[in-house]
Structure 1
Amino acid sequence: MFPWGDSDSELIEVQGPRAAIAKPKSFHAHGVHFWEIGSDKRLAGAILHHCRSGIGKLRACTGGDQLALFKIGITHDYDSRFDLYRSHGWEKMLVLFYSSDLGQVEMLAPAKHVAAIAAAFAKTSSDGALSAIARCPQNDAERAMQKALCKFDLTLDAPVTYVNVGEQCLVPCLKPTDYVRTLNERGYLHRLIGCPIDSSAGALSEFWARLSKAEPQLEVCQDLADGLVDPRTLIPVYIHGDGGRTYKHDELMIFQFQPCMGHGTMHSRPVKPNSIGVSLKGHSFTTRFLFGVLQKAIYSNDPSTFERFLEHMALDLQSLYHVGVKHERTGVVFKFCVIGVKGDLPFLAKAGNMNRTFLHIRKRPFLPHSPEDPPSFFKLDVLHLYHLGVGRDFGASSLVYLMTLYEAESIPKAIEKLNSDFKSFLLSSKKVVHFKQITKDLLGYISSKAYPVGHWNKAMDTPVVVQFAEWLVEKFGGESTPDLLIRSGCKAIGVCMRTMLSSALWLDRSEAKIVGDAALHFAQCYGKLVHYFSRKVSACTIWCQNYIFGTISH
């Protein structure tokens, strides 16, 4: 890189991460340069606009797009990072923004991109809010956009509460009672019911009538039978927990609640009045309601903090069962009942050890578990069971086997051909994935004697990979036993998932039979594949069979 300087941009150099910024004696003494750092109080849009301007000027001064190779990124220690780069032949580092506030750096959300998208749609829409967002200036989009969102009532200002989970450890959260009260005041309570308020009585009555037949042993079903609660105004919800990642991939646990009923999925048939769909259609902000997040650094050293945080959530939800909330327009008092807990394995493992919190909180019945079968309160989650579980490993294993059909001279060559076909598949099917390419690490392909385990992180990548495996078998026209089993298994799980996603919350008899038969066929194909390849990898036989038939948790 070559430095520049004029009335609009002043290049300055520092001697270390914490050194005072001062004009340098020589631009080449250290190699790290700053450009127009200015104030660190600017909003994200102004900062990104400044950085974009700096990059554009750098490219112009180094000969245009083709004559300079550069990288753009974020680092907490530019000196150490540049020392590493310099050892690999890099010449200069240009620092475009500097802040000691980590949160400010992490939250450089490009609101100007939202404004650009709004501008594209505003051309064909008369919506005032869309037009106002489209007019937000590129160099200060956040401030203008916040005003536009408030003007058109597009914010939900639920209060933040800090709860004590340990000694001198306060964690922010959005209490369900505050969340529900805010939704009610703003006219959005129907988001938690899953249908319009005026048709909610019939939908809720149908839900509890069906649940009482399916699980009559639940305490809440007994209370419904005894007339202690009104099924027309009792809203069922789930507690949902899932792991996530934060700064430097540190782990955290996400706590939220979600309605059981909704408007279906993007694949389901239109939901008619009084009918019930699953709660998947629409933005996740309208189907999942955050309670809070807990960093692993907090609960790994003191597991009781996890229990305290969850107990705060449980006790608050309990008040929504006993007290409820009065609907602003109709005056009807709606109450809420948690009918289960679902999530990923780490969350369920921790929650499952907390019977006192989940099943015996002070006033009965907060959680409608079965006294004879308490573990049934924890529900299977298809997303984790298939998309991030057995389906991911089935897809990875299938691709590892199908690479042999290329008859390549080496594994890297086979993976190269596999990626070439994968690109063709994505183009022809108009599918998208969240990873750049297929690699040995992505497939968990350690060696020919190891069991492949898929390592992609996005759940919706799994059906794409499985469909690609089916596409490969059909392309090569394979008729061997593994080829036929893979193709048959792929087709079966496709039928199973498409049927569920196109159906209402309650499957009818014909849909249930299709789903059950297809799921069983997929499991049988997977089991036969395990048996077939166990002759080559005998050490994996027992593990894989137990995995398929459910005797080992995933």
Structure 2
Amino acid sequence: MRSLRMRKRSVSRNSPLTKRTACDCEVLRMHEHKSFGKFGDSLLSKAAKLAEVLAELEGFVEEGSKKSEQKRLAQSIRGLEEAIACLNAEHENVEAQKVNSQELADKLLAKMKEQVRTLLKALTKAAEEKVHLAQSATQLLIKCADGSWKPNPSSESGDDTAGHLLNELASMVGSGAVCKHTLKVAQAAVKDNPNSQSSALLQFAAVRSKDAESGAHRIFRQHGLAVNVTIDRLDLGNAPVLKSFPFIKLSSWVTYLLDHNLLHKLTGIQDELYMGEVLVEFWARYRALFPQHDLWNHSDIDLSRAIPVYTHTDEGRTYKKRPLLVFSTHGCLGLGTQPQHRAQADDHMVDGQDIPLEDSEMNMNFIGNTWSTHFIHASLLKSVSDDEPQAIPGMMKEYAADLQTLYNVGGTDSRGQRRVWIVHCGTKGDLLALSKLGSFTRDYTRMPRAGQSKQLAVGICHLCQAGREFEDPAGNVPFEDVSSRARWHASMHQEYPWQQMPPILEGVPRNAPGEEAAFFCLDLWHCWHYGLAKVFVPSVLLVFQETLIPGSSIDKRLEWINDDWKAYCRSHKFAAHAIDINKDTLGYSGSNFPAGHWNKGAISATLMYYLEFLCTFLGVDSTAVNPLHREIVACVYFVVLASFHKSLLCFFTHVYAHNSCSKHP
């Protein structure tokens, strides 16, 4: 036994046995990661097969079946749709976990490297401090020897230092750090020096890890380290959580920002005098775009103090992964974008010179922590809003009433000395969120499911009649037609997409009479990156593989594309591990319309970069023999819009590099 223990001790961490074990663990982790990916692909494959069965079943129903079988067939169709949705959701979860695990591994590796660098710096600093301490000790001994040293009284509580530490911890949380991590920092500080810490820090360190989130914020509020903004209580329904629902009015935020000289959080401009000049220029450009806007008839508003804002509605997740609706407001103007700053740094024509305001770009609101640039009003669990449908309209009614006051009268600081006006320019979000806010009768969920149906489709767009069907098929408005002469062009703003005016529009200034629906802004990210691109990219790749890609079968050709895609990502430093290009990820079954199965909008952007590269590599341009290839090039390079002769990617890059407000608001 003794010899066995000695043998165990002799195995060090640097021994070949330990290294071999580490390598085996790494190989095992790679195999598990690969198996996890195969599991996700199998889920996607099953969903595709079920979709084929569903299409055949719907075709059977459309061809005509006995009335006695109609109900049973309808139930079967609903069951299949639910099964497909479940499989797709599980696949997205698997893919998300796959990406997250890879990103976590990359972050851990980067963190280890950073810790090594930090440790080396700390060792160097410790050595320098040791030398300094020796010198100080020598000087102290000399002073003690000649009697010139006298002790200085100091505070034994350490409140200043410890209070400063608690302030730093609060700043860490405000910057997005997890409360549990900041709690560990506080506990380590108390453990190192328990007798010289303030009571506040001791309270913070005593919070249980399970209660880190609520306990940390409770102590921050107790010691004045939280935002002191008024929280109102609303009665939005019968559920207990809705009887006294917490809601922060925008007027409360405006008062807080004015009191603390933080108005630049709504405009991105520190100097209020210059802010006034920028706002006047902004509204001049806005007037050029919307000459019939109601704002121009409101002579009591000082445009140099009128701040344009958007509302934003999005779905988040709680700590228990429950869907959560988040409603907030942010300024139209901000600090710009990172691509814009890089473009300005590379622009030698500017060279630090001041650009006249009328020629300058106006910064979009993309830089900065969203906690400090987007001002939250409320969050509501999806389960609660589903059970209480009147909750969201009630909340929007309260918000609209507050905005109406800020527009007509303005908001002031707590002393009533400084005043600003707030102009609500629109509300943003994905199509589902917009449909909920506006109670739309026309939205994307009402898309026709077959070539012909018994119930006429009402349309899929809240701005026009696209997708609407009539008794006479000659009057139908095809939503698939994206040409410059499409029928839906003439139907813009001809009919409201709601039965009654949405509460959020009460008192809101209109762009033009009858164009209230334009207040619900389409979101570029959701509509393209997470929407149309997931149809466009798979369609292009499947068209290219038919004639332009080498291989004896579609699987071989897609394998060639996948290898080329991975090589492209490696050479351009993109995250190639995000997806594999195959039948499942492209949503290809042979009978259904292809639709990409990935859950990251950034993947769509990377794939668009790859398409641009692939067109060049394959020699596909506007002179291609195949007319379909010419159409694809027209889409990829955005020639379909006459005023743009850059690629679709260049257009998006231009938007973010030069701001959407460069010549227009």
What TM bracket, shorter-length normalisation? Answer: 0.5 to 0.7
Shift of 1:328: 8.7
In structure 2, the residue matched to 1:298 is: 384
2:574 aligns with one of 424, 431, 451 = 431
Structure with more of its chain in helix, by fraction: 2
* One-letter amino acid matched to 1:182: Y
Change (3 A) 1:372 1:470: closer
* One-letter amino acid matched to 1:215: F
What secondary structure sits across from 1:229 in the alignment?
Answer: coil
Change (3 A) 1:382 1:315: same
2:438 aligns with one of 345, 352, 361 = 352
* Mapped pair 1:187 → 2:261: yes
1:313 aligns with one of 399, 419, 440 = 399
Change (3 A) 1:290 1:480: farther
Instruction: Provide the identity percentage.
Output: 26
The answer to whether the 8 A contact 1:199-1:273 is kept is no
In structure 1, the residue matched to 2:562 is: 419
| Superposed counterparts of 1:191-270, under 5 Å | 191-196=265-270, 197-223=272-298, 227-245=299-317, 250-268=322-340, 270=344
In structure 2, the residue matched to 1:340 is: 426
Shift of 1:432: 3.5
In 1, Cα distance between equivalents of 2:229 and 2:577: 32
* Mapped pair 1:497 → 2:652: yes
Change (3 A) 1:329 1:417: farther
Structure 1 window deviating more from structure 2 (402-411 vs 253-262): it is: 402-411
What secondary structure sits across from 1:217 in the alignment?
Answer: coil
Shift of 1:231: 0.5
In structure 1, the residue matched to 2:13 is: none
* One-letter amino acid matched to 1:398: V
| Superposed counterparts of 1:374-413, under 5 Å | 374-404=516-546, 405-413=548-556
In 2, Cα distance between equivalents of 1:442 and 1:176: 43
In structure 2, the residue matched to 1:465 is: 607
In our comparison, the structure showing a higher alpha carbon Rg is 2
What do you get for the CA RMSD once the two structures are aligned?
4.6
In 1, Cα distance between equivalents of 2:327 and 2:590: 40
In 2, Cα distance between equivalents of 1:273 and 1:130: 45
In 1, Cα distance between equivalents of 2:372 and 2:576: 24
Shift of 1:304: 1.6
Give CA deviations for 1:172-208 in whole Å, capped at 9, x if unaligned.
4443233333334443220102322231100111122
In structure 2, the residue matched to 1:141 is: 181
Give CA deviations for 1:334-375 in whole Å, capped at 9, x if unaligned.
221212122211122222236251233xxxx44445343322
In 2, Cα distance between equivalents of 1:118 and 1:198: 43
The answer to whether the 8 A contact 1:370-1:376 is kept is no
Change (3 A) 1:272 1:352: farther
In 1, Cα distance between equivalents of 2:369 and 2:576: 19
Shift of 1:431: 2.6
In structure 2, the residue matched to 1:90 is: none
The answer to whether the 8 A contact 1:393-1:452 is kept is yes
| Superposed counterparts of 1:80-119, under 5 Å | none
Q: TM-score, normalised by structure 2?
A: 0.51
Change (3 A) 1:289 1:131: closer
In 2, Cα distance between equivalents of 1:443 and 1:284: 34
The answer to whether the 8 A contact 2:328-2:378 is kept is yes
The answer to whether the 8 A contact 1:433-1:461 is kept is no
Shift of 1:300: 2.5
Structure scoring higher RCO (CA < 8 A, sep ≥ 6) equals 2
Give CA deviations for 1:139-159 in whole Å, capped at 9, x if unaligned.
973226687997999964656
* Mapped pair 1:166 → 2:234: no
For structure 2, the residue ranges without an aligned partner over 5 or more in a row are 1-16, 33-103, 123-163, 187-200, 205-215, 345-353, 440-499, 638-646
Change (3 A) 1:402 1:334: same
Change (3 A) 1:488 1:117: farther
Shift of 1:213: 3.1
Change (3 A) 1:132 1:172: closer
